[in-house]
């Protein structure tokens, strides 16, 4: 089914609920519960009526702080179908950053999971705005909004906002990416066509719904194509292949970290299911971080599944490049432009020729119009012709394939998670023994990148590596705690006083 350019996610829901009402949209492996297309339409109507009763009208913002589950996926899609803007908050975000996004997002209400209660309420104590809070079990088959009488869904426009997603900036302050129904529809259409997805396709994806890949590729795209999503709470190396086989996955959505863990488990523990049972899987898709070519080849050899490497970003609805599903695909390349125009430019904005490194720029119907409440950031991100400047350095080869060679930005991408160096710097500086600190991303086999911190201690104050790491775990969380800690006499700085982070790589231990 190909929807028209002026249609929206509500149109998609109504179509599939009519054509295949009992077809499974979401399967929750932990409970075995299923959400059908007809059930999602019903729940959208209940949610619409309940939000109206709560005074949260059409176009208002609804937050969610929840891990994957049947109810999580239902709330995510139903909110957009009901004409509100869904805002998923990052469960890995530091408390201060979560508090900032809760304020900045202008949410009227936020749903949180019981097992995330401690971190949520810690952030809530630091917020300035008032909004409703509702506890909601991600695995529930019913919720508070199902107690109201359902009402007809409001009329929507393709260009109205659907999703507000926060992404890390180089300063440590997140930026709100506001995506419309049209953006998400175009992304769903492009990925569905690229991978030739149909209602018979079933994807296994453990990527969190607070990540753009988990939202656009793993949820909106199967929803658009009328397919089914197997959505476990999180990735489990011991459960992955069992879930794929039990629920008859036809494709699997991964990041390089998942691929690395599956390879390691196969080599160390012999966790390789009978390859005959994996033949139903047409392909695997890897994105959110560069996939090492050696892991790419080894995975395919071990499991007999072709892996399609791709690249996305929040600002473009998780859609930038993708390799073709034939012999043309390239190891080490995220592929060809998928649903976008792409070019490489120099520092003055001039388009560069093939095999010349410059900044990657994008333009397309899936690209956001602006950052939420961020006029200055929006102006900086786009050129006069509407091209989005990605901050990635790369080149195009003579066959049109793109390669990412570095970053103008200093973001660290760890396991598909964007981490701003400055936010880790500032966390380290809160320790009383730390005089100065700076972090940099370094290569890592499992996560793509890890964090290395260089720390200058105050004179006369001692601090062990363990003490500092324990401090980081408490203040920054596991994802942002540096793997490597190096105590140094001073940090390399340029004439302006700015830390020269590339020089920190000289201390990298491998």
Residues 54 and 165 in one domain: yes
**The pLDDT of residue 497 is above 60:** no
**The pLDDT of residue 378 is above 90:** yes
CATH number at residue 206: 3.40.50.12780
Q: Which domain holds residue 271?
A: 9-310
Domain boundary among the residues 310, 331, 360 is at 310
Residues 195/253, Cβ–Cβ less than 8 Å = no
Count of other CB atoms within 10 angstroms of residue 119? 18
Helix (H), strand (E) at residue 334: none
* Residue 489 covered by a domain: yes
* Residue 206 covered by a domain: yes
> Which residues, listed in sequence order, are joined to residue 229 by a DSSP beta bridge?
26, 203
Count of other CB atoms within 10 angstroms of residue 277? 11
Residues 227 and 106 in one domain: yes
Residues 83 and 205 in one domain: yes
Helix (H), strand (E) at residue 5: none
Summarize the confidence of residues 347-355 as an average pLDDT.
Answer: 93
* Residue 80 covered by a domain: yes
Residues 140 and 257 in one domain: yes
Alpha helices in 179-220 (DSSP H): 181-195, 212
* Residue 496 covered by a domain: yes
Of the listed ranges 297-301, 344-348, 423-427, 460-464, the least confidently predicted one is 423-427
d(CA 18, CA 178): 30
Structural domains counted in the chain = 2
Residues 120 and 268 in one domain: yes
d(CA 199, CA 190): 16
CATH number at residue 437: 3.30.300.30
pLDDT, tens digit, 9 for 90 and up, residues 250-276: 999 999 889 988 998 898 888 789 989
First to last CA, the chain: 50
| Element counts in the chain: helices (H) and strands (E) | 15, 24
Domain boundary among the residues 310, 326, 357 is at 310
Confidence (pLDDT) at 492: 85
d(CA 135, CA 123): 15
Confidence (pLDDT) at 495: 47
Domain boundary among the residues 274, 291, 310 is at 310
**The pLDDT of residue 401 is above 50:** yes
Summarize the confidence of residues 148-165 as an average pLDDT.
Answer: 95
Average pLDDT value for the chain: 92
Residues 148 and 25 in one domain: yes
Percent of the chain whose pLDDT exceeds 70:
98
Residues 301 and 443 in one domain: no
* Residue 36 covered by a domain: yes
Residues 23 and 142 in one domain: yes
């Amino acid at each position: 089914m190909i929807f028209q350019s002026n249609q929206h996610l509500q149109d998609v829901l109504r179509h599939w609920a009519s054509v295949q009402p009992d077809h499974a949209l979401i399967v929750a492996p932990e409970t075995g519960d299923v959400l059908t297309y007809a059930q999602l339409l019903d729940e959208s109507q209940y949610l619409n009526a309940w939000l109206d009763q709560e005074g949260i009208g059409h176009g208002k913002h609804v937050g969610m702080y929840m891990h994957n589950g049947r109810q999580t996926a239902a709330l995510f899609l139903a909110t957009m179908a009901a004409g509100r803007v869904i805002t998923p908050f990052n469960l890995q975000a530091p408390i201060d950053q979560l508090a900032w996004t809760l304020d900045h997002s202008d949410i009227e209400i936020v749903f949180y999971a019981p097992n995330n209660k401690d971190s949520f309420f810690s952030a809530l104590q630091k917020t300035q705005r008032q909004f409703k809070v509702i506890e909601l079990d991600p695995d529930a088959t019913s919720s508070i909004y199902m107690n109201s009488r359902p009402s007809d869904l409001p009329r929507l426009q393709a260009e109205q906002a659907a999703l507000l997603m926060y992404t890390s900036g180089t300063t440590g302050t997140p930026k709100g990416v506001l995506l419309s129904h049209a953006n998400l529809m175009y992304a769903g259409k492009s990925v569905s066509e690229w991978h030739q997805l149909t209602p018979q396709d079933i994807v296994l994806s453990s990527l969190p719904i607070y990540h753009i890949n988990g939202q656009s590729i793993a949820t909106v795209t199967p929803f658009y194509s009328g397919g089914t999503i197997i959505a476990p709470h999180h990735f489990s190396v011991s459960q992955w292949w069992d879930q794929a086989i039990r629920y008859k996955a036809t494709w699997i959505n991964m990041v390089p970290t998942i691929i690395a863990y599956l390879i390691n488990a196969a080599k160390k523990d012999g966790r390789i299911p009978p390859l005959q049972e994996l033949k139903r899987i047409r392909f695997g898709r890897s994105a959110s971080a560069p996939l090492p070519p050696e892991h790419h080849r080894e995975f395919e050899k071990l499991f007999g599944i072709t892996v399609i490497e791709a690249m996305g970003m929040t600002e473009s609805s998780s859609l930038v490049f993708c390799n073709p599903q034939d012999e043309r695909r390239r190891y080490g390349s995220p592929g060809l432009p998928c649903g976008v125009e792409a070019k490489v430019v120099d520092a003055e904005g001039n388009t560069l020729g093939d095999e010349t490194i410059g900044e990657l720029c994008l333009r397309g119907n899936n690209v956001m119009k602006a950052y939420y409440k961020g006029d200055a950031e929006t102006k900086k991100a786009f050129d006069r012709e509407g091209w989005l400047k990605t901050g990635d350095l790369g080149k195009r080869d003579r066959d049109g394939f793109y390669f990412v060679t570095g970053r103008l930005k200093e973001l660290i991408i760890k396991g598909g998670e964007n981490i701003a160096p400055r936010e880790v710097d500032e966390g380290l500086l809160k320790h009383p023994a730390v005089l100065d600190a700076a972090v940099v991303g370094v290569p890592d086999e499992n996560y793509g990148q890890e964090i290395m911190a260089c720390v200058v201690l105050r004179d006369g104050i001692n601090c062990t590596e363990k003490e500092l790491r324990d401090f980081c775990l408490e203040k920054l969380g596991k994802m942002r705690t540096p793997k490597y800690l190096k105590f140094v006499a001073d940090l390399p700085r340029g004439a302006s006083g700015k830390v020269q982070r590339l020089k920190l790589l000289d201390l990298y231990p491998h």
